A and B are shown apart, each in its own frame.
Chain A
Amino acid sequence: MTTIEVRNVTLDSPNGQRLLDDVSLSVPSGSRFAVCGPSGAGKSALMRVLVGLDDHTDGDVILDGNIVNAVKPRQRDLAMVFSDYALHPHLDVYDNLAFAARLRRDRDADEIDDRVEEVAELLALTHVLELKPSDLDDSQRQRVAIGRSLVRDALGYLFDEPFTAQDHRVRTHVRSVTTEWQADRDRTSIFTTSDAHEALTLADQMAVMHQGIVHQVGSPRDLYDHPADLFVAAFLGAPAMNLIPAQVSGSQLLMPLAAMPIDETLRQRLGERRMVIVGIRPELCHDATTPEGRAVEDRVDFTTRIDDVEWRGKTQLVYLGYELEPEVEETLTDIEDALDFDLFGNFVVAELPASSELRAGMTARIVVPRAAVHVFDAQTGENLIQG
């Protein structure tokens, strides 16, 4: 039972690059916390600071209420799985699994042996216990890396990209083994991932990071439904949220293909802004000719020719293309450059049931409930109505 907390932590690399910028997080005891973001977000840097390998430039790392900035990794007692596995090349799998537990001498040899056998069984490594890491494939090496942290008893577990090398089938199994192990023992765990879906499905609480900054912290559902800014909105969810530039014009928000009346609350939030970004989740779009579409009352509708239809088995994606003024394009490119992330496409995507009969070339009317529309500030990216 350990709470892990960082308060205003900043980390600069030796060459002066800012890896973590005023990061604050609080991981409740016993929870499964995901730190998620694209590569280079500072996820690994955060893990290294937590476990005590790198000294942060500023701020506090707090374990169970105690500031541990100057405390050595040994006393912090957090187990860490490295994204490049970090196995001992000259030791066989058994010795690799037992390494940390033996090093800490906190159990006797028989206990370690039992635990190694148990973990090897769980991670399907029993038949490779006598092999060296060089004889294993990547997926097995990664499982050894996970296993060696489980064999050891720790206050908390830090996993840096722990499932990347597992193929689809094994991944589910390894995930559930790891999460159950940790849940059974009521340990706090933090894992990093660049896969938003993985974070959304596995974590109780999560943080979205990018460029060394924490953009939002909360439950997966909360982050998905109420993204605080453009980045979180674009990063979580596949297909990604539609982000459409809109001009404020009198009592309306003018988008390509559609217009939305501005109500009193929105009017207040908009203030003097001339341009905003409208966000709409593809799965909340409906075909206006179907019963679900007709049932949507207060709505925004997009009507145009369908560019393309992408079939996905359970659903299909309908693409409605549009053109933008050059100066609007330029503004959008500036926003993307500042965030170093792709946000915009020149189309609206609607995720419709596979039974939908819309095809490329047809004219479609796509409707969205007004309550499902996000409005973001074009400069700061802040969510103006639902954040």
Chain B
Amino acid sequence: MNPSIRSRVIASTTAFVLGFVIANYGILRVPGRDRWLWFAVAIVLMVTSVIGVLIADSRRKVSMWAVLGMEMLAIFTLLPLLWTFTLATSAETVTTQSLLPTDVQWSVFRDVLGSDSIRHAAITSALVSLIATAVSMLLAVPAAYALVRRQVRARRLVYVFLLAVLLAPLVALAGPFGDQLRTFGVFGSRYVLVVPTLMLTLPLATWLCVTLMRDLPWSLRDSVRADGATRGQTFRAFALPMVVPGLLAVTLITFIAACNDAVIGATLTGGDESRTLPATLLLAADQLEQPSAAIAATGLLWLVPAVLVLLAVPRRTIRLLGRTY
């Protein structure tokens, strides 16, 4: 038995055992329509195992472990989404017990989109994150360029500080910062949030830019210049294809990180007017009619722009943070 056959057989066995366990759990413990969901997963796993055994001896270049891994990944990503959807669309105010939605009510989405407080919070989030991201990128790009390409004393120390700030708990920094804001009498304004958000976005953006610039093929720039390129041509031949997509990716990641932060929005804001979206969700549990449904619905709606962005951006951008060749 060669290693590839053995590996496939073991993977198939694993898939089968998993499927078997899930099927039995579904039959014995899961009531109602959810049982069919368990069955579906079990069937997929068992079919995988059968295919694995059938192709075990073939020359096909398929790793059964990879297939199994993909299936597990799909299950673990899709199930929470499904659960969120069910929560959002269930009519009852009580938390629903079943995974599959029983009676889909779309009204909650309309409510959320129509809700002034949520719309206001979303605008706050977007504004604060946009400004913070823009400022961070403006500072991070030259900083990263200098760190990577120029002689910088104590470069390592700078990196250590960057990472330290990145890893530091924001909650610990937020308290003292709030006191400062009160002293200056600007506590409660939504634009003030930009400053603490920079604490999160600036090191993140700088670190990502450093990673990006380190991997750039700089000798390519030299070679383009040696070929006799003008400034404009060097930009078009080197910066545009090599750097700009990467910077776009960094900007998006930074923006999303800023959007997702709940700590600053929750601790440094006085009233509803200046709260960010995550903070609003965090604190809104008992303010809305259908607390859990509304939160779940907002979460789902939140996903839409992220997915749109990922689909709109060229594939190379997503790949670019890793390899250049």
Residues of A whose CB lies within 8 Å of any CB of B are 14-15, 48, 51-53, 73-75, 77-80, 82, 84, 86-90, 99-100, 103-104, 133-134, 152
Contacts and interface: CB of A to CB of B under 8 A. Distances in A.
B151 interface: yes
Contacts, number: 59
A104 B228 contact: yes
Nearest to A106: B228
B179 interface: no
A22 B219 CA distance: 26
A87 to B, nearest CB: 7
Contact of B324 (A48, A52, A89, A100): A89
B316 A90 contact: yes
Contacts of B229: 74, 103
Interface in B279-295: none
A87 B226 contact: no
B228 A82 contact: no
Contact of B220 (A52, A75, A86, A103): A86
B227 A99 contact: yes
A136 B151 CA distance: 34
Contacts of A78: 226
A100 B228 CA distance: 8
B226 A73 contact: yes
B22 to A, nearest CB: 41
A73 B219 contact: no
B219 to A, nearest CB: 4
B219 A103 contact: no
A78 B242 CA distance: 25
Nearest to A80: B226
B325 interface: yes
B225 A73 contact: yes
Can you list the 3 inter-chain pairs with the closest CB atoms, starting with the nearest? A74-B228, A86-B223, A100-B227
B110 interface: no
Interface string B152-193: 000000000000000000000000000000000000000000
Given A74-B228, A100-B228, A82 B223 contact: yes
B217 A86 contact: yes
11 contacts: A52-B226, A53-B225, A73-B225, A79-B227, A80-B223, A86-B222, A99-B227, A100-B228, A103-B229, A103-B237, A134-B325
Given A88-B237, A89-B324, A90-B241, A74 B220 contact: no
Nearest to B316: A90
A324 B123 CA distance: 84
